[in-house]
Structure 1
């Protein structure tokens, strides 16, 4: 029986799709994780490796996800099941991953709201040499306030999702993404014009031969996959809303370029000013950069209050656009697989997720003792805080696993020829590098299998 797809939601315009998909890719990882990794892996060497990996690995994998979504007109689970029922589990991996990520993304979104409020109201961070660290630790250890702010962040996401694809996600993305770029460029200009910032810029773009090694490549690979939102099913869902007339290869190229540009601009906004104020060692990886190191930097700068407010507004936009894409992928799964309305699906998703979010938030305080077992090949079985286990579960296990199964499926089950046929849309949009793309797909499968 031929499926009826005429009522399938679609993007109203290609620019709307590109902005929404770019918003998914441009997230918290670009704004604080990328600058930290640039510093950790030696500046220009990491940027060079990152750009090459995005072009040679990230782009073909994203394009394959988009083509799978558009070919099947299904969510991540439905797409795999439609083409081969035995591979339905691969889509389920993506949905579970996204559910867990969203549960702690909302908590971090609440942290960002707190800091926006602090800078807007001129609240005092306290005093002493560790004032910013103490303020952050006291806040996240609070049992109530982070949860309330996380719920507020989640409600914003819910409002957008319930309105639908074109009226909700696309319309909001058309407004938020330009705002994000304006804020980011304003911060970059202020950062690179500070006295002494030129040394930080040199550090950022100088390629030191000794820093180009296997660790740098692995770090760039992990950052590229996390940043581009591939391997989790988001781009399958977003691809399913793309009309056949649109050029998928061109769109994927623009999304990768926008994501990379934002990451480099974020590094320009953060690395030089932290480099000259606190030193490169202060650029750790994780939330500490945004919530402890950077407020310290802003506190030492002329006009630091304005700078800080702009930065956390930027961080909020990045978090929101990514959270919306994650929630949409989960809601699309529920609406299509269980025939629920968008509102019912969103409520069904939100209720259990709030429990997981509460666990992530409450486990920030070691006094509460919310610990879970985690097995590491190097460290063995450990008892770790719930927040650490949740992040390791997604970053170290589920995302790499999902990416591996997706690539194996496209390369050897569905077949790269079918993917190329969908990309070209029966010759309407010739894909001149399809042979090269097939080689990259096979190479990535073999590399991932090691």
Structure 2
């Protein structure tokens, strides 16, 4: 018997779920770091322009594929042109690897919520926060247990289904995320001495407009919007034909950008108050090492830290749900499994890969894999680093490039526009501009990203 395909119960639910997918860990701590590294206001302006000119058109292309076919990402490409089924495969593989390590990082966030909520201490070492985090991730079992707890939460939501699970949770978590983020912003900007940080963010310095700022904004915008992985194809496949795709895509991009900018307002003034401008050197462990030190530096810091990590948890959970849903949609539709069986089939290999990612955090274990960097040749890197480079530096931009080339030159922008306009016609200038971006400008931008991440060995996500 043919099973009726799931659909979003409301357009608002779809927008919040898709925005939740786009709003992830990178928005909350990586975006403020990029603002600090690339000149404050100049970076924010570049970011907004690139989201509008590149991110939005690419997202709309993915949504159009999903709604036209009403299938998972692999099934969608097979239906439109069997020769390009591999493009959907790129997306599923990327998402599988991302979910394997995203669940571990989500577990770290849950651990920190417990630390703050229970009143536990980070220790009394010379660098207590850095030492605490290093000791925690080097443990063989505890990070795996927290990661498993995070994965189980995601599985529970996805098994409940599209409207009853994902949409319902998104309608609660996304407004809660905004409220918590606004609370953090209000506390941050009212701290004594916060004006210096605000001035840094709001001042646009001409000398900051350079190649590094542009490439940094390109990478952050591109990876922040959940494009290039097939998530928006899957979410688009649940959109009814009478929903307004363009307005939905605009809303998703706007919400994602708003969260990123609010996160910068919540974090950068606090960093300036406690650590000064030099505190903006934000590495991958910034949220778990530097920020607890920052929070401890002002009154009410423990409460602020608890709220921040709850906020980070909401962002991580909504993104992880979308990643898992895209993988489950592929398994359930292609192999005719139930949602429960599909998640079980995925969770076993994911757990194994997650264990490798977690265990490789300890140098003593020496879990390393080869990685080809065109600027350095083959090198042996820790497994966790290889997994992140594989998805962020290679597969996401490669998948996005394939999506654009497929829509622009194989399926054709004419067919895509026909799907986008199913709820109403748009001015010709908009159709021409969108087609030009998808066919020419977006592929060029993605090629630039690939050059900097592979040719020069620089990570942009």
What TM-score do you get using the length of structure 1 for normalisation? 0.97
Query: Which one of the candidate residues 200, 203, 206 is aligned to 2:200?
Result: 203
Matched, 1:140 2:131: no
Q: Which runs of 5+ in 2 are unaligned?
A: 449-461
Structure 1 position 381, deviation (Å):
1.2
Structure 1 position 446, deviation (Å):
4.2
Match of 1:58 in 2: 55
Report if aligned partners of 2:35, 2:41 keep a CA contact under 8 Å in 1: yes
Match of 2:189 in 1: 192
**Structure 2 counterpart SS, 1:396:** helix
Report if aligned partners of 1:423, 1:431 keep a CA contact under 8 Å in 2: no
Matches within 5 A, 1:44-55: 44-55=41-52
Matched, 1:430 2:428: no
Distance 1:420 1:205 in 2: 38
Structure 1 position 445, deviation (Å):
2.6
Matches within 5 A, 1:336-375: 336-375=333-372
Structure 1 position 430, deviation (Å):
2.2
Deviates more, 1:151-160 or 1:125-134: 125-134
Distance 1:381 1:339 in 2: 41
Deviations 1:278-299 (A, max 9, x none): 1233233443210011000111
Match of 1:260 in 2: 257
Structure 1 position 219, deviation (Å):
1.0
Matches within 5 A, 1:11-30: 11-30=8-27
Query: Which one of the candidate residues 73, 81, 86 is aligned to 1:84?
Result: 81
Report if aligned partners of 2:58, 2:442 keep a CA contact under 8 Å in 1: no
Match of 1:283 in 2: 280
Distance 1:359 1:233 in 2: 25
Residue correspondences, number: 445
**Structure 2 counterpart SS, 1:431:** coil
**Structure 2 counterpart SS, 1:96:** helix
Matches within 5 A, 1:13-412: 13-412=10-409
Matched, 1:445 2:443: yes
Structure 1 position 221, deviation (Å):
1.1
**Structure 1 counterpart SS, 2:57:** helix
Distance 1:117 1:373 in 2: 36
Structure 1 position 359, deviation (Å):
0.5
Report if aligned partners of 1:237, 1:329 keep a CA contact under 8 Å in 2: yes
Report if aligned partners of 1:283, 1:293 keep a CA contact under 8 Å in 2: no
Distance 1:434 1:5 in 2: 36
Distance 1:407 1:337 in 2: 24
Distance 2:446 2:98 in 1: 23
Cα distance change, pair 278–39 in 1 and its aligned pair in 2 (3 A): same
Report if aligned partners of 2:104, 2:143 keep a CA contact under 8 Å in 1: yes
Distance 1:449 1:206 in 2: 31
Structure 1 position 246, deviation (Å):
0.3
Deviates more, 1:177-186 or 1:270-279: 270-279
Distance 2:397 2:443 in 1: 12
Distance 1:319 1:431 in 2: 36
Distance 2:162 2:284 in 1: 31
Report if aligned partners of 1:249, 1:431 keep a CA contact under 8 Å in 2: no
Structure 1 position 449, deviation (Å):
5.0
Deviations 1:134-181 (A, max 9, x none): 000000001111000000000000000000000000000001111101
Cα distance change, pair 143–93 in 1 and its aligned pair in 2 (3 A): same
Q: Which runs of 5+ in 1 are unaligned?
A: none
Cα distance change, pair 53–447 in 1 and its aligned pair in 2 (3 A): closer
Cα distance change, pair 49–339 in 1 and its aligned pair in 2 (3 A): same
Distance 2:395 2:277 in 1: 31
**Structure 1 counterpart SS, 2:348:** helix
Distance 2:347 2:414 in 1: 39
Distance 2:146 2:251 in 1: 34
